[in-house]
């Protein structure tokens, strides 16, 4: 329960980085039934800025969104977007990717920014080491991440409001360091625990190896969040290994690039074979796009880059993900998850299918 909003897990969170989920409205999100979405501290801090968000009483009022929200700390964006940052003991200095202006994030400041944003779940500032980092770099990341986690807890506990704070475990693909970091973060009184630094360029084999290795060490009393992961197969693997929460830009980004998810697998909406088809994206889907629009028309919109084509595909993909998570929860309740896992993994292990 997040400020009166009940969120069932496992859950997928659509990503609204700058205070919007690209190409669709808050009414669409509500209509689909999402109770929890994600925005980004780094981007909202830069634009529209904290003064604007405080004037409106937080980003939820600003964007007319009524349900629950998680904000990423922005640390990953500091390191990945600007390319111009410098670690300090108590934080990181960085240059804005927008105008080059100079800024500083500390564990305390990141929490204060998220207090102004008014999110229901705040993430701590952490050090996400790049893929294929050396052992030395990963150990450095853990020292920094754990120290910042302790400072974050101390600052949050002075004024918790109605906001929850999640810690982030790191460790790259080093199994020993992964367990060490997970235990360190779980030893602190966070509301939930996130796994960071996966799906950042490591091999598929290493991704699965880490998930499976740390699964027995997960504490069962708090939500477990796998950050930045949200393909069908990755969600299946995550749930199998004890993960409760997921987020990813792929359902929305792929939609804008003409790819949709269906009960038969992934479909390329720009495929020539769809040109004359008077059938929905997915005959088994109950979304308003599948009820009202044919593939031939949606393909046309995608080919000529009309915004409606992006919007329809995004709506469908998010509806699919919401329905997919509901099916996962049902399979778990009925103790049929492993059969569900095998079936969907087989479907989504295929390349993009074609419609005859």
Kindly list the distances between the CA atom of residue 310 and the CA atoms of 5, 272, 303, 313, in Å, as whole numbers in the listed order: 29, 18, 10, 5
Give catalytic status of residue 112 as yes or no.
no
Determine phi and psi for 71, rounding to 5 degrees. -115, 125
Q: Which of 120, 174, 247, 282 is catalytic?
A: 247
Q: How far apart are CA 114 and CA 353, in angstroms?
A: 42
Q: How far apart are CA 115 and CA 109, in angstroms?
A: 10
244 is annotated as an active-site residue:
no
Cα(61)–Cα(118) distance, integer angstroms: 9
Here the tokens at position 259 are 């790819």
Q: Distance between CA atoms of 287 and 209, rounded to whole angstroms?
A: 36
Assign 37 to helix, strand or coil.
Answer: strand
Which candidate in 72, 234, 244, 282 is catalytic? 72
Nearest to 22 by CA among 301, 248, 311, 229: 311
Stated length of the chain: 356
- Measured CA to CA, the distance from residue 45 to residue 82 in angstroms comes to 14
Q: Is the dihedral of CA 200, 170, 222, 220 positive or negative?
A: positive
DSSP string, 125-191: ----PPTT--HHHHHHHHHHHHHHHHHHHHHHTT--TT-EEEEEE--TT-HHHHHHHHHHHHTS--S
What are the catalytic residues? 72, 247
């Amino acid at each position: 329960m997040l400020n009166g909003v009940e969120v069932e897990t496992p859950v997928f969170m659509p990503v609204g980085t700058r205070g919007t989920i690209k190409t669709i409205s808050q009414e669409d999100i509500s209509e689909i039934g999402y109770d929890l979405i994600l925005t980004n501290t780094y981007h909202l801090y830069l634009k529209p800025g904290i003064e604007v968000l405080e004037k409106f009483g937080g980003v939820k009022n600003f964007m007319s969104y009524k349900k629950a929200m998680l904000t990423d700390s922005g640390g990953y964006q500091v390191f990945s977007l600007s390319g111009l940052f410098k670690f300090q003991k108590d934080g990181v200095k960085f240059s804005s990717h927008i105008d080059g202006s100079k800024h500083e994030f500390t564990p305390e400041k990141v929490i204060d920014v998220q207090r102004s944003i008014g999110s229901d779940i705040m993430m701590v500032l952490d050090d996400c080491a790049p893929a294929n980092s050396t052992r030395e770099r990963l150990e450095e990341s853990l020292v920094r991440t754990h120290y910042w986690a302790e400072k974050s807890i101390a600052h949050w506990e002075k004024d918790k409001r109605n906001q929850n704070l999640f810690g982030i475990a790191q460790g790259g693909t080093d199994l020993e360091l992964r367990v060490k970091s997970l235990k360190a973060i779980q030893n602190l009184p966070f509301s939930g625990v996130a796994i960071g630094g996966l799906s950042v360029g490591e091999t598929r084999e290493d991704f699965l190896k880490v998930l499976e290795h740390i699964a027995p060490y997960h504490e069962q009393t708090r939500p477990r969040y796998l950050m930045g992961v949200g393909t069908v197969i990755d969600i299946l693997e995550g749930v199998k290994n004890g993960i409760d929460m997921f987020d990813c830009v792929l359902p929305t980004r792929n939609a804008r690039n003409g790819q949709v998810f269906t009960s038969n697998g992934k479909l390329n909406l720009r495929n020539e074979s769809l040109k004359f088809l008077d059938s929905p994206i997915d005959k088994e889907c109950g979304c308003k796009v599948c009820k009202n629009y044919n593939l031939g028309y949606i393909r046309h919109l995608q080919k000529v880059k009309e915004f409606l084509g992006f919007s329809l595909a995004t709506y469908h993909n998010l509806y699919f993900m919401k329905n997919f998570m509901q099916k996962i929860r049902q399979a778990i309740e009925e103790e049929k998850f492993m059969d569900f896992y095998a079936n969907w993994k087989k479907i989504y292990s295929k390349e993009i299918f074609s419609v005859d």
